[in-house]
Structure 1
Amino acid sequence: MNAWSNDGLWLAGIAAVAGLTASAASLGWLFSRNRYRAAVPDSSYPPEVLESLYHHSPIAFALIDRQGRFLDINRDPADMIGYGKHEVSGKPFLSLIAEDMQEAVRGLFLRALQGEQISQEIKVKHKQGHAIDLFIQTSPLIRRGRTIGILAFIQDFSERRRSLERIRYMAYYDDMTGLPNRQYFKKRLEEKLASARMRGSMLAVCYIDVDQFKLVNASFGRDFGDMLLLQIAERLSRSLSEPGDLARMEGDEFAACLDNLSSAEEAQERLQEILSVLKEPFELRGVPVHITVSIGVACSGGEDDAATLLKRADTALHRMKENGKNGYLQHSEDMDHVAMEKLTIQHEMRRALENKEFVLYYQPQYDLASGQIVGMEALIRWMHPERGMIFPGDFIPAAEESGLIAPLGEWVIEEACRQNKAWQDEGLLRIPVSVNLSFRQFTEKNLTSKISGILEKTGLHPRYLELEITESMTMDVERASQDLRELTEMGLHISIDDFGTGYSSFHYLKTLPIGRLKIDRSFVRDIKQDPSDAAIVAAIISMAHKLQMQVVAEGVETKDQVHFLRSHRCDEMQGYFGSPPLSSNSAHALLMEKVNRPALPAYH
């Protein structure tokens, strides 16, 4: 035990457990058993307690002399550093310190000898050669007023270090792809922006979204979708100069930083490189899958920060996706205005629903042979308290994007049914009212029960409600067929709106319970000037009649158009030639005036 007595070691043990490291003088004073016994009654801490603490303390501690040699350690250090107790006894502690830390630790030792208490992480060489992390706390040992060494309390910090590294990884990296995440990317982007400002160079932030990724998940499953994202991440990383320049933001969205740019043209060249690495197909389950991406780009300028650039790139990405996807688009100032306007409209629409600012207008539909009014289409308008009347084209896209289209569409159906029932109760024409059904409404599982509830609430017979759907809604023929059959079995009529502009298929026309086709106004507008449009309209009428369907021409505005449609035996028309959309009061007046009287010249 060299110069140290067992009493001294016991006292060192109790000091470690009792937390006396903050008082080196007290430890020295308590060093002898006599002084200890004088200070503490025998019944308090008998020698066997101190001995137990020395041998069984949960904290390892070592005694080091003024020359830096191990004099003793309270337990075998082999489980920490690989060396046994006998191997380290008398050995200089610096011989165990990693080379790159030896000078720093030597300085700590000298400071500890001068009376300073040290808390420090150090790297120690394990006997097997690898480095391990230890956390030490030191206290000088003072005997008769002289520092004779130090007492070092030692904890294995390796596991904690691994835990901290894991926490850091989880905080800054995406667990699936291994790429930096949003938080890390923003931090790195701030650093790159500061560097670019100092150099006077430019950088570009790219927000990248994988087109049609949901289709991949639906076709192959989410596990294969994750595999595809891994492959995309690997290819994108190859097109960037530094590993940290690409991050996975969320889902199928990535962000990239293109720095050291001299011009916007160079940014475009780099973007083309990114797109080019994705041209070759990916392979999933042995099936080649071609992937395209949409990219929003924002270039640095002035004092822009990372959050601002990311927001602009995201805004540009959103516009790129609206414009058809598969390409890149650079942010411009007008995009911020449009995005803010959308948010404002969405907020005001929620308020408008609560405040009942929406109203319905009604456009009559006429029988082309008799001229009688045979139906009304309900068209929504927004009576804004400040901006006046707003037409559907200015707010329906925002409603679809925000999800408000579902409650709005439900209100339209209920209001149209209520109004039609009120007209019928007054003895006016019993004619159907037609309502456009949104895609979101059409995909709702409880659509049939909702409409049934509305009809029951308003008292309108189902035969007087017609639902207009678009061609794209019928692409999933199996599901569409089931939903539409349930609706027609209730007694409702179904029509295809804007026919000819969507994914036309004769298959769904003969399979689904559709009663009418509405020819889109874009074909009707030029039927007298454009032979192609005239041929298309004539063909649609002929085909529909052979399939036992009625045909309604939309957007009819001139007498020549009426003559053409009559000559090809189109069933009905709707448009300004008959009447513009009318408020409920004006529609009521028209119905009163035209009851059983022709509204158009009869067909001859």
Structure 2
Amino acid sequence: MTASYSALDLAGRINTTKGIRRMSWLILGATSMGLGIWSMHFVGMLAMSLPIPISYDMEYVVLSVILAIFVSSIALLTVTRRTLGIKELVASGVLMAAGISGMHYVGMAAMLIGINYDHLLVLLSIGIAATASALALWLLFYFRKDQSRHAVWYKLGSALIMGAGIAGMHYTGMYAAHFHLGDNMSYRSGLEIEPNKLGYMITIATLFLLGMTVFGVFITKRLSQKDSVIQEHAGWYRSLYHNNADGIISVDTNGLIMSVNPAVTRIIGVPAEGYIHQHVSAFQINVTEELRALTQERYHQSFNMETSSYDTTIVHPDGTKVELNIVNIPVEIEGNVIGNHIIARDVTEEKLAKGQIEHLAYHDELTGLPNRRMLNELLTKAMTDNEFSAIQFAVIALDIDRFKMINDSLGHTYGDIFLQAVSDRIQACVAGVDAVVSRLGGDEFIIICRSSMDDTVYAALAERIVEAMRQPFSLKDNDFYISTSIGIALFPQDSQDPVELLKQADAAMYQVKKNGKNGYQFYTSDLDVELLGRIELEADLRKAVKRNELVVFYQPQVSTMDNRMVGVEALVRWNHPTRGVLMPGTFIPLAEETGLIYEIGNWVMYEACRQMRAWHDAGGPLIPVSVNLSTQQFHHTDLLEQVERVLSETGLAAQYLELEITESMMMDATVSTTILLALNKLGIRISLDDFGTGYSSLSYLKIFPIHKLKIDRSFITDISSNENDKAIVATIIAMAQHLKLDVVAEGIETKDQLDILMENDCREIQGYYFSKPLSAEEVERAFFVPLRGSAV
């Protein structure tokens, strides 16, 4: 059984080896198994007790050993075949049965004594040998490669069956023999051996068998572990090689392609297996022509035991370009380079993403124009290029005058669409000029005119842009009109510092805004003083509310029927600590630009409501106060909450608060309607200020809940001399009366203006002719105290 187990264990080893190693394992296995069978046979014979001493013929003993080893070699050769059919199994079983029977009966013949056999039992023993042999061969073949945790038990069971079969054949054969005294020794020649010596031989054979078995198992385990490690490493390598997302091309020192992994096919766009055994230069046809020389040079560097990495580009058969990162890794064995691995990674998307990131880093995401970072680099480069030649170029700063109104009214989505349209118009204006348009953010654009042109050309370009911006923009089914302010600074005469030059262009632009917008201006040194003053004024304005420097003045609104005061308009003034009282035109535009207008507007609303409630509590009269809403206030999410809070804290009834809005705030009809209806529901009256200066006034009157129209002072100024203004004012008054709306004309300064308005049945006026804006104390003293006195 031990010999059978050893043979089973060695069969797997024989099956996994080739050449000389396979022959060595075959001889070792056959010898071990043969000696085991032979030892079992002669131990059984020695166990037989006869009344006379028996000697053995040494030649026959040796022949029986050879037959046992021969039988074992047949068995091992059979089970190490790749396939084993029925014919092969029967033939091998017959040969093995013949060998075992031959070993047994040759061994019996070695006994120097007369033997007669029962032929039926002999045939039975041979049948047992054949059956056992076939079964043993099948078991050996079946379990030869089993490496599971149950393999030991499978092999032990198979060895037990095989040993039992051979023992059954042996003892059946022994039972078939009948011994008798005869002259068997008289015709024998050669060496004889006594039983005791034969016992020693069997002991030695058994020890040799055990030693061979132990040695074989030991060597098998060691080699099995070594092979297992090798196979495991090979498995890891194969998995890495075949499943790698990067393409791998293995090349020998002659440049012949030994193997490629599946990823190569995906990367090059054609089946890669056709390139095996071809020269690696066959791949170069896929490389773009301008990169072939570099690719070849880097490839040869890998044979100098240097790992090289580089980028290249290949072209698919359909024309698609693929960006690759190539790494050439030399394959070194015992200090010699025997080839290299070319690892190709598809970095097309990575480079595309990198390019997009770099583009976003230097371009405005909304318009695609260069951003501030690129502008600074371009400006610095332009100055460097012209540093010694002193060639003139211009920096043009451009700002949209009514962008904030559009953005607040229509929302950021339409604000973005508007800015894209502005960008397109500016680029169309600079077409044909060596200029770069950039967007710094919001509605601020900068143009670098790199061409050397005189001032008249720069002025003509600015005029083209101003005129282009005058044309209406179609947004949300409406036409919107804007204007633009442009400032121009020149290199090198204005400045040779990029930051300073941009600052000077901005200063010129702000001067245009100050002077009425919608135009352009070149920078002059006088503007620095104004810009510095503007910066100081902004810093002071941020502290004005906290320092209680703002004050509300009130301009009376009077009835033309009886000169009775019917309301007041709240107008903010700034009591500046060093500049005195500043009018709204001085600081309101700055407040709108910096976002301070929201805080100032809310403060004015609160103060006006507080003062009006105080006047009511003091005996009246019970008239409303009119407060202007800024665009930021009107579109702020907490407008309703803010109004309710002010009314609640001041105690003023909602019917005495009138909010003045402008047409520009109501560009988004859906949003504006929601806000105005909510305000109207609170009981607040809505007045439409500067009526007639917009572009959709009549549609506003139809859609929105408006209670009063204010005729803009631009129609009143020349009403006594301009028939058109007179006709417009008369039309507005008549229309308002038909729509059952109140009308108030502002800016009345002369008796002629008043007479014309009264002729057209205008019932409320406001202006210097009746009263300038007054402080709360002056209103109290001039109007309310006399009324209360007359009432008493």
Q: Give me the TM-score of the superposition, normalised by structure 1.
A: 0.66
User: Is 1:358 equivalent to 2:550 in the alignment?
Assistant: yes
1:258 counterpart residue number:
449
Would the aligned equivalents of 1:361 and 1:584 in 2 still touch at CA under 8 Å? yes
* 1:135 aligned onto 2:318: no
Deviation at 1:490, TM superposition (A): 5.9
1:432 to 623, 629, 635: 623
1:51 pairs with 2:234 = yes
**Pairing 1:173-572 to 2, within 5 Å after superposition:** 183-184=373-374, 186-197=376-387, 199-206=389-396, 229=421, 232=424, 236=428, 239-240=431-432, 245=436, 256-268=447-459, 294=484, 296=486, 298-302=488-492, 304=496, 330=522, 345-346=537-538, 348-364=540-556, 375-426=567-618, 428-440=619-631, 441=633, 450-469=642-661, 530=721, 539=730, 543=734
Alignment check: 8 A CA contact 2:567 2:626 kept: no
Quote the Cα distance in structure 2 between the aligned partners of 1:290 and 1:458. Answer: 39
Counting matched residue pairs gives 551
Is the Cα contact below 8 Å between 2:508 and 2:527 reproduced in 1? yes
Q: CA offset at residue 395 of structure 1? A: 1.7
Match of 1:62 in 2: 250
Relative distance call for 1:270 and 1:458 in structure 2 (3 A) is closer
| 2:777 alignment partner AA | N
Letter in 1 for 2:229: P
Query: Residue 420 and residue 195 in structure 1: after superposition, are their counterparts in 2 closer, same or farther (change >3 A)?
Result: same
Give the superposition deviation at 1:399: 2.8
Q: What is the Cα deviation at residue 134 of structure 1?
A: 3.9
Give the Å deviation of 1:355: 3.8
Match of 1:151 among 340, 349, 354: 340
* Other-structure match for 1:89: 277
Measured after TM superposition, the shift of residue 437 of structure 1 is 2.0
Counterpart-to-counterpart distance in 1, 2:312 and 2:366 = 33
Residues 661, 686 of structure 2: 8 Å contact kept? yes
Measured after TM superposition, the shift of residue 581 of structure 1 is 3.8
Matches of 1:480 and 1:473, distance apart in 2: 8
Report the CA distance shift for 1:597/1:363 in structure 2 as closer, same or farther (over 3 A).
Answer: farther
- Cα distance change, pair 356–260 in 1 and its aligned pair in 2 (3 A): same
Instruction: Give secondary structure in 2 for the equivalent of 1:154.
Output: strand
Shift in Å at residue 439 of structure 1?
Answer: 4.8
Per-residue CA distance 1:36-78 (angstroms, 9 max, x = gap) = xxxx99659832234334533236253442xx62363464644
Shift of 1:492: 5.4
Deviation at 1:583, TM superposition (A): 3.1
Which whole-Å CA distance do the structure 2 matches of 1:279 and 1:516 have between them?
30
CA 106–574 in structure 1, closer or farther in 2 if over 3 Å, else same: closer
Identity over the aligned pairs, expressed in percent?
30
More displaced 10-residue stretch of structure 1: 437-446 or 383-392: 437-446
Distance 1:150 1:423 in 2: 100
Instruction: Name the SS for the 1:396 alignment partner.
Output: helix
Residues 566 and 49 of structure 1: CA distance in aligned 2, closer, same or farther (over 3 Å): closer
Output the amino acid matched with 1:436. Answer: V
Q: What do the CA deviations read for 1:237-261 (whole angstroms, capped 9, x no partner)?
A: 992467x945676688776543232
Instruction: Report if the CA contact (8 A) 1:313-1:331 is conserved.
Output: yes
C-alpha spacing 1:98/1:251, structure 2 compared with 1 (3 Å): same
Aligned to 2:603, what secondary structure does the other structure show? Answer: helix
In 2 relative to 1, CA 49–176 (structure 1 residues): closer, same or farther, beyond 3 Å?
Answer: farther
Any conservation in 1 of the 2:367–2:419 contact (CA below 8 Å)?
Answer: no
Change in 2 beyond 3 A, CA 1:498/1:89: closer
User: What letter corresponds to residue 72 of structure 1 in structure 2?
Assistant: M
Equivalents in 2 of 1:101, 1:484: separation in Å?
A: 68
Distance, in Å, in 2 between the alignment partners of 1:356 and 1:250 is 33
Question: How far, CA to CA, are the matches of 1:424 and 1:288 in structure 2?
Answer: 44
Name the CA shift for 1:319/1:350 in 2 (closer, same or farther; >3 Å): same
Report whether the alignment pairs 1:584 with 2:776: yes
Cα distance change on mapping 1:182 and 1:293 into 2, 3 Å: farther
Q: Which residue of 2 aligns with 1:120?
A: 310
CA offset digits 1:326-384 (Å, max 9, x no partner): 77655556667666655654554443334433222334455667666554443322233
> Structure 1 CA distance, aligned partners of 2:462 and 2:557?
52
Q: Are the structure 2 counterparts of residues 457 and 110 from structure 1 closer, same or farther at C-alpha, using a change threshold of 3 Å?
A: closer
Q: Distance in 2 between matches of 1:576 and 1:230?
A: 41
Q: Give the Cα separation in 2 of the matches to 1:311 and 1:514.
A: 44
**In structure 1, what residue type is equivalent to 2:543?**
R
In 2 relative to 1, CA 446–126 (structure 1 residues): closer, same or farther, beyond 3 Å? closer
Give the aligned residue type for 2:277: S
Compute the displacement of 1:432 (Å): 1.6
Gaps of 5+ in 2: 1-222
Q: Is the 8 A contact 1:173 1:181 kept in 2?
A: yes
Distance 1:42 1:129, change over 3 A: farther
Distance 1:544 1:63, change over 3 A: closer
Whole-Å separation in 2 of the counterparts to 1:211 and 1:397: 11
- How much has 1:430 moved relative to structure 2? 1.9
**Change over 3 Å in CA distance of 1:540–1:204 after alignment to 2:** same
CA distance in 2 between partners of 1:229 and 1:497 (Å): 29
Q: Deviations over 1:427-476 (max 9, x none)?
A: x3324243232252456687666545433432234454444555777899
From the superposition, tell whether residues 179 and 563 of structure 1 become closer, same or farther in structure 2 (CA, over 3 Å).
Answer: closer
> Does structure 2 retain, via aligned residues, the 8 Å contact 1:296–1:317?
yes
- 1:367, 1:283 → 2: CA distance? 41
Distance 1:504 1:290 in 2: 10
SS at structure 2 position matched to 1:436: strand
Aligned-partner residue type, residue 392 of structure 2: M
Q: Residue 172 of structure 1: CA displacement?
A: 4.6
Contact 1:472 1:503 in 2 (8 A): no
| TM-score (normalised: structure 2) | 0.53
Letter matched to residue 70 of structure 1: L
For 2:343, give the aligned amino acid.
I
Backbone CA RMSD of aligned residues: 5.9
Go from structure 1 to structure 2 and tell me whether the alpha carbon gap of 1:279 and 1:520 turns closer, same or farther (over 3 Å shift).
closer
CA distance in 2, matches of 1:93, 1:162: 28
The verdict on how the C-alpha distance between 1:417 and 1:292 changes in structure 2, with shifts beyond 3 A counting, is: closer
Query: Structure 1 309/584 Cα, relative in aligned 2: closer, same or farther at 3 Å?
Result: same
Give the Cα separation in 1 of the matches to 2:651 and 2:296: 93
1:416 touches 1:433 (CA, 8 Å); kept in 2?
no
